[in-house]
Homo-oligomer: A and B are copies of this chain.
Amino acid sequence: MAIMNEYSDMIEKALSEFLVKDKDIGGLVKSIEYSLMAGGKRVRPKLVLEFCRACGGEPENALDFACAVEMIHTYSLIHDDLPCMDNDDMRRGKPSNHCAFGEDTALLAGDALLTLAFETVLSENAVRATSPDSVARAGRLLANFAGVQGMVGGQFIDLSIEGKKVESDILEKMYGKKTGALLKASCMLGCIAANADVEKIRAAEIFGGKIGLVFQIIDDVLDVVSTTDILGKPVLSDEQNEKTTFMSLYGEEKCREIAAVLTDEALTALDVFGTDKSVGLRDFAVELLNRKK
């Protein structure tokens, strides 16, 4: 992500500015800050900004959209970690939100972040940077891809296949929603911020869908072939949880082959943006394929 990393400071600063100061809800804001500012890779907001640039727009104009997708991503992690879901005690090397602040506060922090995402995508600032029409479209698309037919639906499918052997089409559908939908939305929101045409928005959706699958396939591979040291989290966790994964379905060689084909398809989708303007996105897709952790 060499090129897209240029956006890191801009994103961290913008996210931190959404944390309100109000002593009556200080504990809630602390819990939100704990997860929102925990230093993830910020892949989604970077994609928003880079797609805006690829469409000839100013990345700054897409900054509220970028923050909004990161808020949605963060809320989903907080709720996912809760005892009634994955019951994960750790997240990014720290106690997960509910372990640090209690389940009740973690639940509300997630609800607050999800709500804040829509306040942000629709902000007066975003309207000035784009238009009322663009923020309405962006917010509607974000809700559609994050909701029951998108990310939340994917999480439900994931719950419903837990401990079952499933076919590859179900696995692809689940990941297409659970992780793919928000990646697609990120790419598309960048285009909307630049007022791009339908062809570019559609290409961004395809790119997001393909790299979402690559991300998941390589994740499954690394869970088996990497070491805990390199990965920074326990290996073989999927096998222990008896999860169907792309590795359990295909094995390493076939997985890497599929991921390479998907990456090629993702790169082809970028043609509509022109070679010059899509160099950052190309680099990102190739890095994703070759990542070791």
List the interface of chain A (C-beta within 8 A of B).
20, 22, 24-25, 27-29, 32, 75, 79, 82, 84-85, 102-105, 107-108, 110-112, 114-116, 118-119, 122-124, 127, 131-133, 135-136, 139-140, 142-144, 146-149, 152-153, 155-157, 159-160, 173
- Known contacts A136-B135, A140-B123; is-contact A32 B105 (Cβ 8 Å): no
Give the docked Cα–Cα distance between A90 and B123 (Å). 38
- Known contacts A115-B146, A148-B25, A153-B28; is-contact A136 B140 (Cβ 8 Å): no
**Interface of chain A, main secondary structure:** helix
Give the docked Cα–Cα distance between A74 and B84 (Å). 20
Q: A116-B147, A139-B139 are in contact. List 4 more A-B contacts (CB 8 A).
A: A20-B148, A24-B153, A32-B148, A82-B84
* Of the residues B25, B84, B131, B156, contact of A103 by C-beta under 8 Å: B84
Give the docked Cα–Cα distance between A110 and B110 (Å). 11
Most chain B beta-carbon contacts within 10 A, residue among A20, A118, A155: A118
A184 CB, min distance to chain B CBs, angstroms: 15
A148 CB, min distance to chain B CBs, angstroms: 4
* Of the residues B85, B116, B155, B157, contact of A148 by C-beta under 8 Å: B116
Contact A107 B136 (CB under 8 A): no
- Chain B residues within 8 Å of A84, by CB: 82, 102-104, 107
Give the docked Cα–Cα distance between A85 and B82 (Å). 13
Give the docked Cα–Cα distance between A102 and B85 (Å). 10
A146 CB, min distance to chain B CBs, angstroms: 5
Contact B173 A24 (CB under 8 A): yes
Contact B143 A122 (CB under 8 A): yes
- Chain B residues within 8 Å of A155, by CB: 108
Contact A111 B108 (CB under 8 A): no
Most chain B beta-carbon contacts within 10 A, residue among A22, A24, A105, A135: A24
Contact B136 A127 (CB under 8 A): yes
- Chain B residues within 8 Å of A112, by CB: 147-148, 152-153
Contact A107 B122 (CB under 8 A): no
